[in-house]
Amino acid sequence: MSQVFGIDIGGSGIKGAPVDLEVGDLAVKRKRIETPQPSTPEAVMDVAARVIGHFGYEGRVGCAMPSVVVDGVAHSAANIDPAWIGTDGQTLLEARTKCEVTLLNDADAAGLAEMRFGAGRNEDGLVILLTFGTGIGSAVFYRGQMLPNTEFGHLKFRGMEAEHYAAARLVEREDMNIDWWAQRVNEYLQHLDFIFTPSLFIFGGGISKRWGDFHEFFDTRARIVPAELRNNAGIVGAALAAHEASQ
Ligand code: BGC
């Protein structure tokens, strides 16, 4: 299996690298460029094309972004410019790069990577991966099959959207005490646990590297483990999705 390019569009940075899909890791060090503000589709895809161009790459590209994505078209824009809604990001990036592009949700990409190469390997039951960052992303798998575009970060919880109640942003940018935040996350996890009865939660997002500081607050019926691919899950999963689309 040759290398496939993966790219992850985030609220603060756009990161990408060729991915070695035999081992499930970046083939070379990734390139990161700040996300343009405002993060309009044209501006973002210009930067994405620069990230790909940096490697002189030509071939299939997987691109993850923080939106519901159906057939290459973004249908939501919670932490990105609202102009994305209704935009065919896949065609836009293809036009800029002349590469064949697969566009998908960022948490779905992270989930694909964790299920193949990380904490979800060999898990056959109902698995819910959550990414805690600026927002909360979700990916759901049953018997290894993904149910795409779940948006559990936008469930109404305690009178607000769950991601306003429990995103890692509260700790990382708004100085909330981490114990306090972890207790909020636990309430949210228990709610999901009750509604979906998963066999496993995979806890992802940048803050998962501090797992040791807060996991003692979690008390769910389902097992809960930290993501293994950490920051690169979106890139690896995007490349995987692009590869699978070509099969
Ligand atoms: C978006 C999701 C995304 C998540 C993580 C949420 O606000 O609605 O699509 O997966 O943030 O970036």
In sequence order, what DSSP letters do the residues of 175-193 get, joined into one string?
---HHHHHHHHHHHHHHHH
* CATH fold for domain 123-227: Nucleotidyltransferase; domain 5 (3.30.420)
pLDDT at 140: 98
pLDDT at 1: 57
Q: How far is the CA of 213 from the centre of ligand 1 (A)?
A: 24
Which tokens is 107 given?
């948490």
Q: Whose CA is nearest to atom 6 of ligand 1?
A: 135
Q: Where are the alpha helices (DSSP H) in the chain?
A: 41-54, 89-97, 106-117, 162-166, 169-172, 178-196, 211-214, 233-245
Q: CATH 3.30.420.40 residue ranges in the chain?
A: 4-108+232-245, 123-227
Q: Which is nearest to 83 in space by CA: 136, 149, 38? A: 38
CB 55 within 8 A of CB 17: yes
The values of phi and psi at residue 20, to 5°, are -90, 105
Under-70 pLDDT residues of the chain = 1
Q: Which CATH class is domain 4-108+232-245?
A: alpha beta
pLDDT at 231: 82
Q: Which of 76, 104, 160 to mutate to test the pocket of ligand 1 (most atoms within 8 A of CB)?
A: 76
pLDDT at 2: 76
Residue 149 in contact with ligand 1 by CB distance below 6 A: no
Residue 8 in contact with ligand 1 by CB distance below 6 A: no
pLDDT at 247: 87
